[in-house]
């Protein structure tokens, strides 16, 4: 089956031409399935796994595919089905995203039950699991049962960094069609910033380069002065490590900055969620029985606060990880200059600083620093306390 690629919902899937071609063919095949027409084997299946590095657009591609499945025209980007799916309000599309560090079995069981029902719109019941690598073991088992015994019109879209068993269980992966995504080029990212976000070409090129192919981060850097200031502060760390005391000061500043960034991103949402829950539970009511209605609600509010705290912890670690990615790219640039490699620098706006560091450090010392940053990222993923991990990193960066 051949199809002409429809830009529509896939327009924001940046630099993934091969994946878009596969998804467009599958959406066309899905339309034939809905119409009761035969399709070639393998063109459309009930479970998909979108893999790729951070910033490659896994969830963007999955949402676009969900919209294409619901669209009578295979993803035109103009109809109600496309708009509601991309906007997160389609009745037959359920999105599961971790509120904290993991996705629990309770949330997954509720989604599996919902997925077993017939689609209200007559096309597909779609369950999209962002960060499927954060599923707990029990949640993964609940999902596996649904993937093993799917209903006729249910499609599961899972997003994970890779198909490695550490990210997605082998049994789930074996029942999915894998859609591998790659880091988009800086040119592709800059193009979407100019075309979609109206950012001037010079700023777009700079943001795309320093964001290392991460579309969302490139957009923040291009438009948010605070994000630019945080990046400058991170890149100033190597010069500040003059002694052991300075290492602990730098660690403290880095952690404080990540906490502030996380708080800014989640504080307003937390307050709104709590107010909405309190209203739903009858807070502020003055009618007969209002007092009785609010009894026993403390547990629900406490559960919400627990989820919000977990989400804030995740946001802080994500912010810290972005800072570590910038640091790793700095030392990578230093190594490339030291070795005389003819490759573009990531941090093109601090080339003088990069060249000064390359003149002082030996390649072996630079590599040790890169490895230390990567070890710190791994430690954070394994739930080592951020302060301990970052302090150890700073000392290693100082000693080389």
Question: pLDDT (tens digit, 9 = 90+) per residue, 174-201?
Answer: 999 999 998 888 888 999 899 888 999 9
- pLDDT surpassing 70 at residue 289: no
pLDDT at 43: 84
pLDDT at 266: 66
Pick the residue with more confidence: 299 or 357?
357
- Of 185, 256, 241, 193, whose CA–CA distance to 221 is shortest? 193
pLDDT at 310: 72
Pick the residue with more confidence: 97 or 300?
97
CB atoms within 10 A of CB 127: 24
- Of 131, 139, 135, whose CA–CA distance to 160 is shortest? 131
User: Residue 123 carries which DSSP code?
Assistant: S
In sequence order, which residues have a C-beta less than 8 Å from that of residue 287 and are 6 or more positions away?
none
Reported as a single tens digit per residue, the pLDDT across 241-266 is: 999 999 999 999 999 888 887 777 66
Distance separating alpha carbons of residues 123 and 42, to the nearest angstrom: 19
- Of 139, 178, 142, whose CA–CA distance to 159 is shortest? 178
Q: What is the dihedral of CA 225, 316, 99, 279, to 10 degrees?
A: -70
Residue located via tokens 């609940």: 142
CB atoms within 10 A of CB 335: 20
pLDDT at 294: 52
- pLDDT surpassing 60 at residue 328: yes
Judging by DSSP bridges, how do beta strands 154-160 and 177-180 pair with one another? unpaired
The percent of residues in the chain predicted with pLDDT above 70, rounded, is 87
Helix axes 215-223, 186-197, angle to 10 degrees: 60
Per-residue DSSP letters for 165-211?
TTTS-HHHHTTSEEEE--PPPHHHHHHHHHHHH---HHHHHHHHHHT
Distance separating alpha carbons of residues 136 and 98, to the nearest angstrom: 11
Mean pLDDT of the chain: 85
Radius of gyration for the chain, computed over Cα atoms and rounded to the nearest angstrom: 24
pLDDT at 3: 45
- pLDDT surpassing 70 at residue 100: no
Q: pLDDT band at 5, cuts 50/70/90?
A: very low
- pLDDT surpassing 90 at residue 307: no
Q: pLDDT band at 22, cuts 50/70/90?
A: very high
Distinct helix (H) and strand (E) counts, the chain: 17, 5
Residues in the chain: 400
Contact assessment for residue 184 and residue 211, using Cβ atoms and an 8 Å cutoff = no
Distance separating alpha carbons of residues 214 and 186, to the nearest angstrom: 9
pLDDT at 272: 66
Q: pLDDT band at 36, cuts 50/70/90?
A: confident
pLDDT at 159: 93
User: Residue 135 carries which DSSP code?
Assistant: B
First-to-final CA distance of the chain? 57
- Range name among 20-24, 55-59, 82-86, 200-204 with the lowest pLDDT average: 55-59
């Amino acid at each position: 089956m051949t199809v002409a690629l429809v830009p529509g919902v896939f327009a924001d899937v940046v630099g993934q031409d091969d994946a878009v071609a596969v998804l467009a063919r599958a959406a066309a095949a899905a339309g034939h399935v809905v119409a009761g027409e035969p399709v070639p084997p393998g063109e459309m299946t009930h479970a998909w796994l979108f893999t790729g590095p951070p910033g490659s657009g896994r969830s963007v591609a999955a949402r676009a595919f969900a919209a294409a499945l619901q669209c009578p025209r295979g993803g035109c980007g103009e109809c109600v089905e496309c708009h509601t799916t991309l906007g997160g309000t389609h009745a037959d599309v359920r999105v599961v995203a971790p509120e904290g560090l993991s996705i629990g079995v309770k949330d997954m069981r509720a989604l599996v039950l919902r997925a077993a029902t017939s689609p209200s719109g007559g096309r597909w019941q779609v369950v999209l699991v962002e960060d499927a690598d954060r599923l707990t073991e029990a949640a993964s088992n609940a999902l596996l049962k649904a993937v093993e015994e799917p209903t006729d019109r249910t499609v599961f879209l899972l997003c994970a960094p890779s198909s490695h068993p550490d990210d997605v269980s082998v049994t789930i992966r074996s029942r999915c069609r894998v859609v591998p995504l790659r880091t988009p080029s800086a040119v592709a990212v800059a193009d979407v910033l100019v075309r979609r976000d109206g950012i001037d070409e010079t700023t777009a090129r700079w943001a795309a380069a320093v964001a290392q192919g991460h579309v969302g981060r490139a957009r923040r850097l291009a438009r948010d002065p605070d994000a630019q200031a945080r990046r400058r502060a991170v890149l100033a760390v190597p010069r500040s490590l003059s002694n052991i005391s300075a290492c602990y000061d730098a660690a403290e500043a880095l952690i404080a900055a990540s906490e502030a960034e996380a708080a800014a991103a989640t504080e307003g949402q937390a307050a709104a969620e709590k107010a909405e829950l309190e209203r739903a539970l009858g807070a502020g009511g003055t009618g007969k029985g209002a007092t009785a209605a609010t009894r026993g609600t403390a547990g629900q509010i406490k559960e919400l606060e627990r989820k919000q705290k977990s989400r804030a912890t995740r946001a802080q670690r994500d912010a810290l990880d972005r800072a570590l990615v910038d640091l790793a790219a700095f030392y990578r640039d230093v190594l490339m200059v030291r070795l005389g490699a003819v490759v573009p620098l990531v941090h093109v706006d601090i080339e003088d600083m990069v060249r000064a560091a390359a003149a002082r450090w030996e390649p072996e010392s630079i590599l040790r620093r890169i490895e230390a940053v990567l070890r710190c990222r791994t430690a954070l993923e394994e739930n080592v306390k951020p302060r301990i991990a970052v302090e150890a990193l700073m000392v290693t960066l100082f000693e080389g």
